[in-house]
Structure 1
Amino acid sequence: MVIVMKNKKFEDRYDVLKFSFILVFSVIILKLGYMTVIKGEEYYEQAQNKVYKKIPIEAPRGEIRDRYGRLLAGNRASFTVQLSKDEIEKSDPNKIANKVIKILEQNGEKYIDEFPIIIENGKFYYTYDRTINEWKRKNNIPLSYNAEKSFYEIVDRLINDGILNVDKDTDKYELQKLLNEKGYYPPIYVSKWKFAEEVKKEQWLYRYRIKEENISAKDAFKKVRDYYKISEELNDYDARKILLVRDLLKSQGYLQYQPIKLALDVSKETVSEIEEYAMELPGVSIETEPIRYYPNGNFASHILGTIGKISQQNEIDTYIKKKGYSISDMIGKIGIEKKYEEKLHGEKGYKKVEVDAYGRLIRKIDIKNPIAGDTVYLTIDKDLQEVAENSLKNVLKTIQVGGTYKSPWGNVRLRDSKRIYNKAKSGAVVALDVKTGEVLAMASYPDYDPNLFATGITNEDMEKLLPENKNDPLAAKPLYNTATFTAVQPGSIFKMITGLAAIENGLDPNYKINAKGRIMLGNKSFGCWIWNSHRGSHGPTDLYKAIEHSCNYYFYCVSVGYDYGSNKPLPVKMSVEEVLKYAKLFGLDERTGIEIEEIPGKVPNPEAKLKNTRRALEYTLNRKLKNYFEDINDKNKEEYEKRIKEIVNWIDENPSRGTIMKRLKSLKIKEDKISEVADLVKYSYFNQAKWKTGDTFNLSIGQGAHAYTPLQMANYISALVNGGYKNKVSVVDKVESYDKMKVEKTKKEKERIPLKDYNNLEHIKRGMLRVTQTGTAKRTFKNFPIKVGAKTGTAQRSGRIPTKDEAQYLIDHMSSFGVNPSEALELANKYEKQDKSKLSRDYYIRKALFELNPHLTYDQINRFKDTYDDFAWFVSFAPYKDPEIAVVVLIFQGGHGGYAAPIARDIIAEYFGLTKDKNTDDVKEELKLIEELKR
């Protein structure tokens, strides 16, 4: 019985096992059937893709041409040194790397060096750290600030400047979004509170399995050197040359078949030498590729822009992760090159190759030729642009020496009897088609050669393009597009807005105000320029005369609806709100719509001034005073916020600096921080908070809180003279496909400004015509054959010019500050050693000066510095009866608006063909004939 039972159990187990095998095999057969019959084609394609790879071939970048088709940016053939990882690593990679770098250096070639550790005078540095510090210096952020403090430092400044309007509880992600919307991109990951370069460093170290935190650059260098087994016989400098090649190869990961670019645009001599040593340089090859080329050098550089390698995190996210670009691709960085990147980029071709499982090349199979990018046609006229650039440059140089600008249309002496404006080193000019908003010419000076960036700019070349005095915000900046990026006070060229607002509200343009020279408000004098110059006055003045002679007194009166000359109200109601309403109608608080980068203007807001100032002050104090109290910090939330609010509430009273210091002491602000906080709240906030009649006066003549770009001013003038149409500005005419089969024409957009009476614009034009006939620009246009309407403007810049070396300035003048120099320096050294923030040297010297002499003020300290000269504005249109072109010129520290007028005259003359094929004698004969006809 027992035996029978055992056999039965055995049979049952066998059946289970047999069933299991059948089930497993059935599943396998079904799966094979599914894979071969149903999904076979798909899997075959995937397998093929794993075997066959595509090596990209660069496409020629699309051209950029002027409105008539003349080439502004194209391509030229060049030789590129490429490396193939699989072939190099089959041989002796260190030897090959050393050899190819030596050849490049001996022939003076630039090569791609992205190895993130550099050696200077025997010391090792991470390039990541250098990049972070350079960004901090550029943005005036203490080097000791971490990512979080740096981020909020930027936020605080934008709030104080009125650019950001946020509450103290705004989320960090929302703040980052708002910053980006305003065009600011701090290189910071707010999720990790790390600089983007810090993250890059961590990723690079991980690539070599270096896990030590805070490892020094020197130790990391040694580990990587050991990783590649570089001979001890080589010094660190030569070893680094090998490492930059090995690291470049490693950055390709498993894409061994894909060549890497080591050097672009090398000479024929280098090509010959590399080919000569071909047997010793397996994996090193020469390819012919298109390189971006700007045939006219510096011409229109701020419009065209530059190209460069993908480097910033936002570029990596946009182009590599989203759009499938390669890490070695060149992209547009600014200007038209950036705006039309995807159309200019073209479509890469490829070589199809077969590789093995390790990604090594077996054979080449197929080739597809690349497709060139589209051609972008600009609206600018090359001839007119050339005149604009040359005239701007030459006038600036003439102003600097107080010389005479010579022209067939009449020579103009660019100096006054008192002084020479030798700091007039930069400026901008914009010429628009008033009917369409097309940019006919736009130039900023100084400029730069975009060819420097086509293959990667060197540190030496980049240094030459940086301002001489990095502390001076108005220093000449070659890379800066002044026409679209510099918003400053407009001065008298704003007066047409004030005048138009008045006549739109019913003021007769012939109504005369007795302009007595100055208006006294309390003990403060608001003088016309003629009063300030020689105690003169304009007498009875109507709108036309006010524009013609730029009478401040007239516009003071109409801005508030009161005739101070006759001590009676004007027959119309006016206010600052009415003036600003028309400024907004003409788009002065908007971007113009141009395709390249620009900043919007800033129309003052009296209603929001106090509210925004309070909010900005509260936000700043909440961020700044965390550790400024003796007994609490921001962790004591309720008490901390209570004290902050108390300080903010003093804004309505605006107490004296001494009173503020006493109150801060009673609130237990630390002794060494009281002066700093008192100066901050008093001078940056309290004094600026409330709107007064004097603010309206300043605003009415273009002073005060206005800030507009030359491009915005050109569009505003266009709207004044074209019947009230506000154009969307464009610098692009059309985009044409490489095969010319598809053309995208830029749509011209405009809207009519809702004025009460469009005939009022004729009164403004009439006043502007008188400027060139008998007014402030009559000298320049005395013999000009075309009637031009215009307005000169002079905008003031307060403050002193920072020196190149602020610390040395303080040391040089220390004996004048009422302190013992050696004692002050000793105290400054003490402060610097104690402070972990590592702020600039001049900060600690100033702190010591204020400690040793409490009565010392910032004005007293800065009194030995030079002051800023006035800005020169000139706006114009022509011809008078049926305007076609508007020309606006801005010259930094140019002294007088009239000094900018010859530039506009040159451009208008070129636009109307007055100088075509004519020499100076011919022009003089024509002018003589015109004068005879007038008589």
Structure 2
Amino acid sequence: MEKALKSRYGQIVLVIIILMIVLFCRLFILTVMQNEEWKEQATSISTKSIYTKAPRGEILDRYGRVIAGNKQAFTLQINAGESTDKELNRVCSEVVRILEKNNEQYFDNLPIIINGNKFSYTYDNDIKEWLSEQEMPTNFTARKAFNELRIRYEVDESLDRYEAQTELQNVYKIYPPISVKNMEFTKEQDKQSFLGRYKLDQKTLTEKKAKKTDLSAKEAFYQLRTYFNIDPMLSNEQARKIMVIRNEIKAMGFRKYLPADIAKGISDNTIVEVEERSAELPQVKVVSETMRYYPNANAASHIIGYLGQISESDKEYYVDKLGYNSNDLIGKEGIESAYETTLKGKDGSKNVQVNAVGELVRTISETEPEKGKDVYLTVDLELQKTAEDALKQALKQIQVGGTFQSQYGNYHYSKAYRNANVGAVVAIEVETGDVLAMASEPDFDPNLFAAGISKEDWNALQSQNPRDYMAPAPLYNVATMTPVQPGSTFKMVTATAALESGLDPYRKLHDGGRIMVGNRPYACLIWHKNGGSHGNINLAEALEVSCNYYFYDIATGKDYYKGVSLGYRTPISIDVITSYAEQYGLGKPTGIEIPERVVGVPTAEKKMEQMKTSLKLDLKSKAEKYFRGNVVKDEDKLAKSIDTIVGWTEENPTKNQIVDRLTKMNLGVKENMIDSLADLCKYTYFNYADWTLGDEFNIAIGQGENSYTPLQMANYVATIGNEGVHNKVSLIKAIEGQKPIEKEPGTKVKLTDDRHLDQIIEGMKLVANGPKGSLKGIFGNFPVEVAGKSGTAERSGKMHPPDEVAYIKQHLRQINPKLSFDQVENEMNRLMKKEPDTYRTKDGAIRQAVINLSNGTVNYEKIDAYKSNYDNFAWVLTMAPADHPKIAVAVMIVQGGTAGYAGPVAREVIGKYLQLDKTYEDFDLNTTIQ
């Protein structure tokens, strides 16, 4: 035996025996001990999952007409499955080649770009681009940028950061890409989320305090090359294309077994090529899906909203928690957003077994996709289109002094107002509070967002002038988000308060022309024009001619012409008037299902705080004028001095007391400016911080601190027409498969006598049909009697141009002919370099430069002298038929010039509604949604 083993032949035999034993043992393990495990894997390898995306629920009008629907589109997907990195990289490279050859757009969410030899994060580039657009240094932190916006737009310092953000968004249409929760740019958060997904720079990310990584874009790129095991022989450009596709697959998170969308809406050429090469590209498939489609384009765009990609920071919620695909589009605004989880369907799946050549053997299991629920709106699509068309026509014709064409009679705009390019119209069903139509202008086409909006299209939809928050901004819902002074349309509130206090509506009061409060006359337009008067009038007649003098009387309980009390049963005050405003729904949330802005009714506390804030901002902006240089340079000292002065507001000391304090308290005020500063504080701010008689007059006629949206105003007039019952506003009629929506009962305005509303409506009838009514020329020959009220709201201040530097360059000769623009520009640059914290933008620095170089001969008022004033805003509130109102309509045109100019829009809507009401009165919505 030993001899045999020593021979070559024996050794070979021994090796063979050992190998046979090993093979036998391995076969025993595989076939007996691991039988079930390998059987499962074999089945898995021959099993494929086919996923079908569920169509999104449709959004329909009250009669079932489609506003937001779906259309077929083809999507290219990749399912990585168990593919190796090498195989998957090959497939990704080939897919990109096919897509680019056929000029297809594919998802590129890889936030690292290469420009020559330079690498950069798209997140960083976006932050710098935004800062540059805002004329801020590109090294500004999120906190500095946010504080700069607060200063620039004079946001009340008493507001916390969340309230300040809301103010910037709702009032000024400024949406800073900043998370105010932790004062970081949202793009910076997205970057950290992206790097964390790949566990890049692991050491930094796992530090005790989880500090942000400082990994450069280049370092991250090369770490990703390694992570994806990309061939080192490929160029960085080729590698990046592979990374782009791998990134989409990776973004699926723990649902990586699902296919990732790579390109949507692909062409027939791409479909054919992918199908022909299915054997060599088994991970790739083309699926038929539905894509959001808005058949009526811009119609109801602000109601519907739009779709958008899931942001990096939202992926944890939508992708990981709710199971969305990372490239799914979600509702970002409007009904699309408010009812996202209702509209989103449940994707289907089919598990099939295939043979070695990929042919279908059998279907193992199948789950059908479930379409999202349809949402039925209260809106009438045809009425909505009428409202939009009428508003567009009115704005176009007002700008040129043209003629509004209508089947109910043409209306000529005798004077042009070229800045009348923003407006809104809202129509509400009086009995229910349902929105029948709601249009804002300018609007937008939500189809731009259906497959992901381009940067160019997105920029085109932004505000034309961020420095003027009344400038056209297509994405902004004017109807719900723009509270402005209502003008004389507020007078029905004042009338209600006066009647409830004891006003005799039939008592004649004499219009004495004007009432002097200090040096200011409070009067009607007729007096301002030619010293005229409305004579002796009662409540209905005062509404007809919109007599301010009469409403000054009844809002204060005094006959100013005779100098006697009106003898009310109970006292009347601003608080009484605003309490009725709230009962009518003004200054309060309406209940609408999409975002709205609510300012609240005027209060004494609010006025005091606003005055303090205005004084503080004024002193900060004029710090160099009033304070010594050492104080201006020391932010803490300056802040303490200003806070001390502002703290005197409620006390309202005399001018001599102010001078004495400024002299003795070492606040750093220049000695030669003490008297001037005392005048500013006393006569511009302190004397007006408390309620004054002028405030009472202004609020009574819808001026002053009153500020309400067109939506609130429409529901206010609907409440008058609904016998004083105030309903919550709604856009939702029904949801597919759910029980009919039960509305909460409305709340009744507290009236001691319901006839008070009848007396107010009589006056509103005269506005539309009376011999002196402001709307007689519009509704005088209308086939149905209408009750209405017009209002012209004044807006103070100047319209800031988009570029202050360009403005000053254009008007420098008028502002100060002794200065050259080179001098001003050099001084501007000096200020920004010397005091970057004070002069953060060219807009502010160039104004101060002109003042500095003018040696006190130029002030802000003189600089702004050549800017345009705001034209008056036009309001019209109507309801029809007057005796039994079914529809209430509010129209507001920004810088529309005069109240009547909004009237033709309301007339078109009422006319269309009354026709549709007859056509569809027997329609049963329940038969549509069962």
TM-score scaled by structure 2?
0.81
SS of aligned partner of 2:265: strand
Deviations 1:850-894 (A, max 9, x none): 222334222211122222211111100011111111011111111
1:651-662 alignment, distance < 5 Å: 652-653=652-653
Deviations 1:109-156 (A, max 9, x none): 332221213467987653323444566688897755423344556778
- The gaps in structure 2 that reach 5 residues or longer are 1-38, 205-212, 355-360, 920-930
Deviations 1:392-413 (A, max 9, x none): 1112111121111122221111
Q: What is residue 405 of structure 2 aligned with on the other side?
A: 406
1:808-823 alignment, distance < 5 Å: 808-818=806-816, 820-821=819-820, 822-823=822-823
**Hey, what's the Cα distance between the residues in 1 that align with 2:365 and 2:534?**
82
Q: What is residue 29 of structure 1 aligned with on the other side?
A: none
Q: What is residue 452 of structure 2 aligned with on the other side?
A: 456
1:773-792 alignment, distance < 5 Å: 773-774=769-770, 775-792=773-790
**Hey, what's the Cα distance between the residues in 1 that align with 2:758 and 2:727?**
19
SS of aligned partner of 1:583: helix
Contact kept, 8 Å, 1:396 with 1:425, in 2: the verdict is: yes
**Hey, what's the Cα distance between the residues in 1 that align with 2:50 and 2:294?**
28
Q: What is residue 291 of structure 1 aligned with on the other side?
A: 291
Deviations 1:199-256 (A, max 9, x none): 3223434537347965554665566568768789988766654442233334345654
Matched, 1:266 2:266: yes
Letter in 2 for 1:849: V
SS of aligned partner of 1:500: helix
Letter in 1 for 2:342: K
Matched, 1:874 2:870: no
Deviations 1:574-609 (A, max 9, x none): 322221121122121211101111122421102553
Q: CA deviation at 1:335?
A: 1.1
SS of aligned partner of 1:887: strand
Distance 1:857 1:338, change over 3 A: same
**Hey, what's the Cα distance between the residues in 1 that align with 2:527 and 2:620?**
46
> What percentage of aligned pairs have identical amino acids?
42
Q: What is residue 604 of structure 1 aligned with on the other side?
A: 602
1:328-477 alignment, distance < 5 Å: 328-352=327-351, 365-416=364-415, 420-477=416-473
**Hey, what's the Cα distance between the residues in 2 that align with 1:608 and 1:510?**
36
Letter in 2 for 1:204: F
Deviations 1:184-203 (A, max 9, x none): 99765567543332232234
**Hey, what's the Cα distance between the residues in 2 that align with 1:846 and 1:184?**
23
Contact kept, 8 Å, 2:662 with 2:669, in 1: the verdict is: no
For residue 562 of structure 2, the aligned residue among 540, 562, 566 is 566
**Hey, what's the Cα distance between the residues in 2 that align with 1:365 and 1:252?**
24
For residue 521 of structure 2, the aligned residue among 515, 520, 525 is 525
1:108-127 alignment, distance < 5 Å: 108-118=103-113, 125-127=120-122
SS of aligned partner of 1:813: helix
Distance 1:617 1:858, change over 3 A: closer
Letter in 1 for 2:786: V
Deviations 1:356-406 (A, max 9, x none): xxxxxx998533111111111111112211211111111211112111112
Q: What is residue 197 of structure 1 aligned with on the other side?
A: 187
**Hey, what's the Cα distance between the residues in 1 that align with 2:520 and 2:909?**
42
Q: What is residue 358 of structure 2 aligned with on the other side?
A: none
Q: CA deviation at 1:509?
A: 0.9
SS of aligned partner of 1:802: coil
Contact kept, 8 Å, 2:433 with 2:728, in 1: the verdict is: yes
Contact kept, 8 Å, 2:649 with 2:685, in 1: the verdict is: no
Q: What is residue 17 of structure 2 aligned with on the other side?
A: none
Q: CA deviation at 1:351?
A: 3.8
Matched, 1:910 2:906: no
Matched, 1:147 2:147: no
**Hey, what's the Cα distance between the residues in 1 that align with 2:234 and 2:371?**
45
Q: What is residue 924 of structure 2 aligned with on the other side?
A: none
Q: What is residue 710 of structure 1 aligned with on the other side?
A: 710
Deviations 1:334-361 (A, max 9, x none): 1111111111112222344899xxxxxx
Q: What is residue 900 of structure 2 aligned with on the other side?
A: 898
Letter in 2 for 1:348: D
Distance 1:58 1:318, change over 3 A: same
Greater mean alpha carbon deviation, residues 831-840 or residues 683-692: 683-692
For residue 68 of structure 2, the aligned residue among 70, 73, 77 is 73
Deviations 1:392-441 (A, max 9, x none): 1112111121111122221111123xxx1121112111111111101111
**Hey, what's the Cα distance between the residues in 2 that align with 1:346 and 1:480?**
28
Q: CA deviation at 1:561?
A: 1.7
Contact kept, 8 Å, 2:86 with 2:230, in 1: the verdict is: no
Letter in 2 for 1:793: G
Cα RMSD (Å) = 4.6
Letter in 2 for 1:67: R
Greater mean alpha carbon deviation, residues 137-146 or residues 709-718: 137-146
Q: CA deviation at 1:695?
A: 1.3
**Hey, what's the Cα distance between the residues in 1 that align with 2:414 and 2:433?**
34
Deviations 1:754-799 (A, max 9, x none): 1221110001100000011120000011211100001111111222
For residue 480 of structure 1, the aligned residue among 456, 464, 476 is 476
Distance 1:812 1:377, change over 3 A: same
Contact kept, 8 Å, 1:160 with 1:616, in 2: the verdict is: no
Q: What is residue 825 of structure 2 aligned with on the other side?
A: 825
**Hey, what's the Cα distance between the residues in 2 that align with 1:477 and 1:635?**
36
Q: CA deviation at 1:628?
A: 11
Q: CA deviation at 1:691?
A: 2.0
Aligned length: 852
Letter in 1 for 2:476: Y
Q: CA deviation at 1:846?
A: 1.8
Q: What is residue 543 of structure 1 aligned with on the other side?
A: 539
Deviations 1:510-547 (A, max 9, x none): 12221132221121111211122333221112111111
Distance 1:366 1:802, change over 3 A: same
Q: What is residue 840 of structure 1 aligned with on the other side?
A: 841
**Hey, what's the Cα distance between the residues in 1 that align with 2:381 and 2:898?**
29
**Hey, what's the Cα distance between the residues in 2 that align with 1:678 and 1:852?**
25
1:618-657 alignment, distance < 5 Å: 630=630, 644-649=643-648, 652-653=652-653
Contact kept, 8 Å, 1:632 with 1:640, in 2: the verdict is: no
Contact kept, 8 Å, 1:807 with 1:841, in 2: the verdict is: yes
**Hey, what's the Cα distance between the residues in 1 that align with 2:475 and 2:153?**
23
Distance 1:524 1:196, change over 3 A: same
TM-score scaled by structure 1?
0.81
**Hey, what's the Cα distance between the residues in 1 that align with 2:792 and 2:225?**
61
Q: What is residue 32 of structure 1 aligned with on the other side?
A: none
For residue 577 of structure 1, the aligned residue among 555, 575, 578 is 575
Contact kept, 8 Å, 1:791 with 1:874, in 2: the verdict is: yes
SS of aligned partner of 1:204: helix
Q: CA deviation at 1:711?
A: 0.7
**Hey, what's the Cα distance between the residues in 1 that align with 2:49 and 2:663?**
73
SS of aligned partner of 2:648: helix
**Hey, what's the Cα distance between the residues in 1 that align with 2:606 and 2:86?**
71
1:656-675 alignment, distance < 5 Å: 666-668=666-668
Q: CA deviation at 1:55?
A: 7.0
SS of aligned partner of 2:541: helix
Distance 1:496 1:173, change over 3 A: closer
Q: What is residue 863 of structure 1 aligned with on the other side?
A: 865
SS of aligned partner of 1:308: strand
Greater mean alpha carbon deviation, residues 135-144 or residues 263-272: 135-144
Distance 1:305 1:643, change over 3 A: closer
**Hey, what's the Cα distance between the residues in 1 that align with 2:732 and 2:166?**
29
For residue 200 of structure 2, the aligned residue among 201, 209, 216 is 209
Contact kept, 8 Å, 2:641 with 2:667, in 1: the verdict is: no
Contact kept, 8 Å, 2:619 with 2:642, in 1: the verdict is: no
Matched, 1:752 2:752: no
Distance 1:813 1:686, change over 3 A: farther
**Hey, what's the Cα distance between the residues in 2 that align with 1:178 and 1:846?**
25
Distance 1:194 1:831, change over 3 A: same
